[in-house]
């Protein structure tokens, strides 16, 4: 390691050991870990003028995420638990077309506790454990250039001087500019066929009320649903709601580009709920200030066979590497797993970027691509989801479809939560054995290519911030 001093005020001439691009959940989790490596000269840069705290969303952190965070710094988990609600039960409601009719309810205990916590509270917990002098906001990355002879990378920013580092970690989210620079021919984010509105609002007493441990989903149909609602307590008396509607293409209110407090977004959600006669959900939305409602189109990224370039001097992490459909709730958890594995690789192999990248990719790429494909299978993407279901049916023709899906879901949860053991599969299991998962990933790669024509990707003009 080259230098024990934290980053200087300008630091223009210095070459950092490690530069993290992106101060979201994954980048910050890694930063907390790096704080435990004395002598490593590292810096985190973030595009926004300050680290974001408002996104109107919540994350569910299961055993895999908690384990990764605990290994990075036990204080993260201690603090996350202070702000989180503990979910112990799941309830899936399917409502009939007649709002006066009885819903079909499928209730089951969760195999392991799920800590549900506001995204912003998680971000704050992580940020509070990072030395402020290590963070530079207002740095919007535009790409990078590798100087192979000198063994470092120059990262370019909008209206800011370059910053050089020996290892650059692109943790800049689903629209990653680092990823575009690394893989120019990679298609942009893939539209998942959903528009999404969500908010967290303060409801005094809600975290101690009966049912606050229930993760509740409500749909209008068991299979081909056009609307899905999540109601989840987010801890500290915050209540989370999410309304997700199918949409043939990204369709923002008033032709805008979404975000927080879009004028007309609340009325749009209310109108759809009114059509369905879902009065209870309408009350939830009605009680929320429009400024607290976030509108998004839902995107994922296609799995990449490798996450590093330039001899390991540039590596991707989190959504930049593997953004996925949020249905199974694994986006942040897998970013935490990445941060943990990257921390271990740096600790073990610094100053050898090639060895760091090799160990990190061996631990992460296959596992993440399984989870991404699993999530994509749940997204109801035309063609792809049915192809993925056909794969499972072929592998296990003895399993009736609906039961098979529940059994498969449970087995996947078991495997996911077994992290960091059995990273590539649970030997002897039906759906998640290493052999089944390998065949699954191979099938999904072929199916994704076959159905590519029917899928929409975000134009590169929306990613680049040149
Ligand atoms: C509605 C919704 C529900 C979700 N629910 C769950 C859940 O229940 N469980 C779960 O585990 N996950 C969930 N997720 C996913 C989770 O939020 C993400 O997977 C997670 O935040 C990924 O972390 P990240 O650090 O890779 O990316 P992010 O947290 O998105 O951070 C990326 C950071 O990079 C910055 N950045 C972007 N571009 C640049 C640039 N050019 N230069 C510099 N900085 C840049 C951004 O400002 C941001 O701070 C959900 C997501 C959504 C949208």
Q: How high is the pLDDT of residue 402?
A: 73
User: Cβ(47) to ligand 1 under 6 A?
Assistant: yes
Token readout for 397 is 């023709």
Q: How high is the pLDDT of residue 9?
A: 42
Distance (angstroms) between ligand 1 centre and the Cα of 275 equals 32
Q: How high is the pLDDT of residue 112?
A: 87
**For the CA of 176, the nearest atom of ligand 1:** 38
Q: Indicate the SS3 state at residue 297.
A: strand
DSSP states along 111-169:
EEEEEEEEHHHHHHHHHTTS-GGGEE-S--EEEEEEETTTTEEEEEETTEEEEEEEEEE
Q: How far is CA 244 from CA 58, 192, 219, 374, in A?
A: 15, 11, 10, 19
Distance (angstroms) between ligand 1 centre and the Cα of 55 equals 10
Residue nearest to atom 29 of ligand 1 (CA): 24
User: Cβ(141) to ligand 1 under 6 A?
Assistant: yes
**For the CA of 29, the nearest atom of ligand 1:** 25
Distance (angstroms) between ligand 1 centre and the Cα of 260 equals 15
Token readout for 370 is 């399984």
96 touches 401 (CB < 8 A)? no
Distance (angstroms) between ligand 1 centre and the Cα of 321 equals 11
Distance (angstroms) between ligand 1 centre and the Cα of 127 equals 14
Q: How high is the pLDDT of residue 131?
A: 97
Residue nearest to atom 28 of ligand 1 (CA): 24
User: Cβ(319) to ligand 1 under 6 A?
Assistant: yes
Q: How high is the pLDDT of residue 466?
A: 29
Main-chain phi, psi angles of 119, to 5 degrees: -55, -45
**For the CA of 330, the nearest atom of ligand 1:** 11
User: Cβ(329) to ligand 1 under 6 A?
Assistant: yes
Q: How high is the pLDDT of residue 406?
A: 82
User: Cβ(26) to ligand 1 under 6 A?
Assistant: yes
User: Which one, of 222, 204, 271, lies nearest residue 243 by Cα?
Assistant: 271
Kindly provide the b/e burial profile for residues 403-442, where b requires at least 16 CB atoms within 10 angstroms of the residue's own CB.
ebeeebeebbbbbbbbbeebbbbbeebbbbbbebbeebbe
Distance (angstroms) between ligand 1 centre and the Cα of 332 equals 7
Task: For the chain, list residues with pLDDT below 50.
Answer: 1-11, 464-466
User: Cβ(59) to ligand 1 under 6 A?
Assistant: yes
Q: Other C-beta atoms within 10 Å of 309: how many? A: 20
72 touches 339 (CB < 8 A)? yes
Distance (angstroms) between ligand 1 centre and the Cα of 429 equals 32
- Residue 165's DSSP bridge partners are 16, 153
User: Cβ(140) to ligand 1 under 6 A?
Assistant: yes
**For the CA of 196, the nearest atom of ligand 1:** 1
Q: How high is the pLDDT of residue 407?
A: 86
Distance CA 60, CA 54 (A): 16
Q: How high is the pLDDT of residue 37?
A: 98
Q: Indicate the SS3 state at residue 107.
A: strand
167 touches 353 (CB < 8 A)? yes
User: Cβ(318) to ligand 1 under 6 A?
Assistant: yes
Residue nearest to atom 41 of ligand 1 (CA): 141
Place of tokens 């965070």: 69
**For the CA of 331, the nearest atom of ligand 1:** 19
Q: What is the CA radius of gyration of the chain?
A: 22
């Amino acid at each position: 390691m080259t230098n024990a001093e934290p980053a200087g005020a300008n630091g223009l001439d210095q070459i950092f050991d490690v530069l993290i691009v992106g101060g979201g959940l994954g980048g910050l989790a890694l930063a907390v870990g790096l704080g435990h490596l004395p002598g490593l000269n590292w810096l985190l840069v973030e595009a926004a003028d300050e680290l974001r705290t408002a996104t109107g969303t919540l994350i569910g952190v299961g055993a895999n995420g908690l384990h990764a965070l605990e290994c990075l710094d036990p204080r993260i988990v201690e603090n996350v638990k202070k702000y989180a609600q503990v979910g112990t039960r799941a309830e899936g409601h399917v409502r009939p077309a007649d709002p006066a009719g009885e819903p079909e309810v499928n209730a089951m205990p969760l195999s392991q506790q799920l800590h549900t916590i506001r995204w912003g509270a998680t971000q704050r917990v992580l940020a509070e454990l990072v030395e402020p002098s290590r963070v530079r906001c207002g740095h919007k990355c535009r790409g990078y250039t590798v100087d192979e002879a000198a063994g470092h990378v120059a990262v370019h920013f909008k209206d800011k001087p370059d910053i050089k580092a020996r290892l650059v970690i692109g943790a800049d989210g689903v629209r990653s500019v680092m990823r575009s620079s690394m893989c120019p021919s990679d298609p942009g984010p893939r539209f998942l066929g959903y528009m999404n509105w969500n908010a967290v609002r303060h409801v005094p007493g809600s975290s101690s009320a009966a049912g606050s441990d229930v993760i509740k989903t409500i749909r209008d149909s068991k299979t081909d649903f056009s609307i899905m609602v999540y109601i989840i307590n987010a801890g500290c008396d915050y209540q989370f709601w999410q309304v997700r509607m199918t949409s043939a293409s990204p369709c923002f209110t008033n032709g805008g580009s979404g975000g927080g407090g879009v004028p007309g977004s609340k009325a749009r959600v209310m109108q759809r709920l009114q059509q369905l006669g879902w009065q209870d959900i309408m009350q939830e939305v009605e009680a929320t200030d429009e400024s607290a409602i976030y509108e998004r189109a839902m995107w994922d990224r296609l799995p990449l066979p490798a996450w590093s370039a330039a001899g390991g001097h540039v590596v991707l992490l989190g959504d930049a590497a593997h953004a996925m459909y949020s249905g199974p709730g694994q986006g942040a958890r897998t970013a935490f797993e990445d941060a943990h594995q990257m921390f271990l690789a740096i600790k073990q192999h610094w100053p050898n970027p090639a060895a760091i990248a090799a160990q990190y990719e061996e631990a992460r790429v296959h596992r993440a691509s399984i989870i991404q494909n699993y999530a994509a299978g749940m997204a109801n993407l035309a063609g792809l989801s049915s192809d993925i279901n056909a794969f499972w049916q072929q592998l296990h023709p003895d399993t009736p479809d609906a039961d098979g899906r529940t059994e498969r879901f449970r087995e996947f949860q078991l495997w996911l939560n077994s992290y960091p053991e059995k990273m590539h599969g649970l030997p002897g299991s039906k759906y998640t054995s290493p052999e089944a998962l390998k065949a699954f990933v191979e099938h999904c790669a072929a199916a994704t290519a076959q159905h590519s024509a029917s899928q929409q990707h975000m134009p590169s003009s929306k990613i680049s911030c040149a």
